Amino acid sequence: MADMLRPATIYDIAKATKYSASTVSRALNGGVVSEEAKEIILRTAKRMNYQPNNAARSLKSKSTKQILLSIPHLDSAFYFDLIETLNQVVSAKGFSLLLQHTYASEKKELSLLKNIQINNIDALIMISINITERHLKELRHIHCPKVISSIGLDIPGNNTAANYDYVGVNTGEGIFLATEHLIKQGHSDIGYVGLSLDSHTGKERYNGYESAMRKWGLHITPQNIIVGGYTMNFGYDAGRQLLRTGKLPSAVVTTCDHICFGLYRAFEEVGICIPEDIALVGMDNIDLSTVIKPKLSSVAIASAEIGRKAGELILDRLNGWDAPKQNVVFKPHLVIRESSVRLL
């Protein structure tokens, strides 16, 4: 029960009703919740003498109705889905997104953070493949609601969750699942093609591959490890590089579907068949994975859910939600299709 010497907070109402603080915030601020939940929450708020955050309401009256979204890529179906879902959530409440494309450049991201005109936006959502201490330092000086998302878990500093709302996905676990799937299909010589190891996300994904290989006591062949990109062209060049070694691995796990599409083209040009000659697994599970022949096995990492949760969190903060910062991590899952299954 709330301390009678202080006003009840959203957190107190959440404890009393057993609903999440996020659901309570939406009910109190006219958001979308079930009629049953709304009735229980409003009745409890009245009984506990809940008083809205007047300071937040005052700030809201000066709202620009604009949320700045920093996005690393605009040439990926993964990010298209994320942006579309996020936009649906915030536009339903009258907000619009201001997109800033950073091309996955740390320099561009840091420049953006240093030069944000806080009077022109209500909030910031920053999505990056490589959050560093330099990012966190700049974020501390931006005084508006913020949600950060790294498509990976390896955020520097153990106190990140205490300072920022965070939404992400454990991509290292996804690569582990993909690699172990190939091992269970009978492969032991498994290559890896993916993001640069200079990024936290790249390291996390490679660690997932390495952990699976180590768990099963398998040797990693250095010439079959190619890192440094994420595009279809990079995948094509990686495929040509693997062919030049003279001995292809029997399978390859990659850190995004676009890399796999490039590998498909490189192998097809020389008559290498998938999965008969080499098995492939991608990541992102974009729609093209189900159209390409053979259909591509891929790790699904819930891009739409990341966008939806980021939108809900930022709206809750804009409505004065005062709960501790949230740390939301989605689990990936492997979608098995033709490209990785042994043919009988």
The residues pairing with 344 across neighbouring beta strands, listed in sequence order, are none
Say yes or no: domain 10-52 is CATH 3.30.1490.20. Answer: no
- Which two three-digit tokens encode residue 186? 């009978």
8 A C-beta contact, residue 320 and residue 53: yes
pLDDT at residue number 2: 45
Q: What is the largest CA-CA distance in the chain?
A: 77
225 pLDDT band, cuts 50/70/90, is very high
Most confident of 64-73, 101-110, 119-128, 255-264: 255-264
Cβ–Cβ under 8 Å, residues 294 and 341: no
Report the distance separating Cα 279 and Cα 141, nearest Å.
48
Mean pLDDT, all residues of the chain: 88
Q: What's the rounded mean pLDDT across residues 32-43?
A: 86
Looking at residue 34, its pLDDT comes to: 85
For strands 333-335 and 297-300, give the pairing. antiparallel
Mean pLDDT of the 19-41 span: 82
Alpha-carbon span 53 to 134, nearest angstrom: 32
Q: pLDDT tens digits, residue range 242-286?
A: 999 999 999 999 999 999 999 999 999 999 999 999 999 999 999
| 131: phi then psi, degrees, rounded to nearest 5 | -70, 130
* Percentage with pLDDT > 70 across the chain: 90
Q: One fold for both 10-52 and 63-170+303-331?
A: no
Lowest mean pLDDT among 23-32, 184-193, 196-205: 23-32
Is a pLDDT exceeding 60 seen at residue 61? no
Other Cβ atoms closer than 10 A to 169:
24
Alpha-carbon distance values, 248 to 26, 189, 241, 245, 288 (Å) = 54, 9, 10, 7, 25
pLDDT band at 5 (very low <50, low <70, confident <90, very high): very low
Would you say 285 and 337 are in contact if contact means Cβ atoms under 8 Å apart? no
Between CA 125 and CA 103 the distance in angstroms is: 16
Domain ranges of the chain: 10-52, 63-170+303-331, 172-301+334-340
Residue 57's pLDDT is 47
Q: What is the CATH number of domain 63-170+303-331?
A: 3.40.50.2300
- Identify the helix (H) or strand (E) that includes residue 107: helix 106-114
114, 219, 221, 248 from 189: Cα distances, Å = 46, 7, 8, 9
The tokens describing 139, both together, are 């974020």
Which CATH superfamily does the domain covering 172-301+334-340 fall into? Response regulator (3.40.50.2300)
The pTM is what? Answer: 0.78
The half-sphere exposure of 302 on its side-chain side, counting CA atoms within 13 A, is 19
- Return the pLDDT at 162: 57
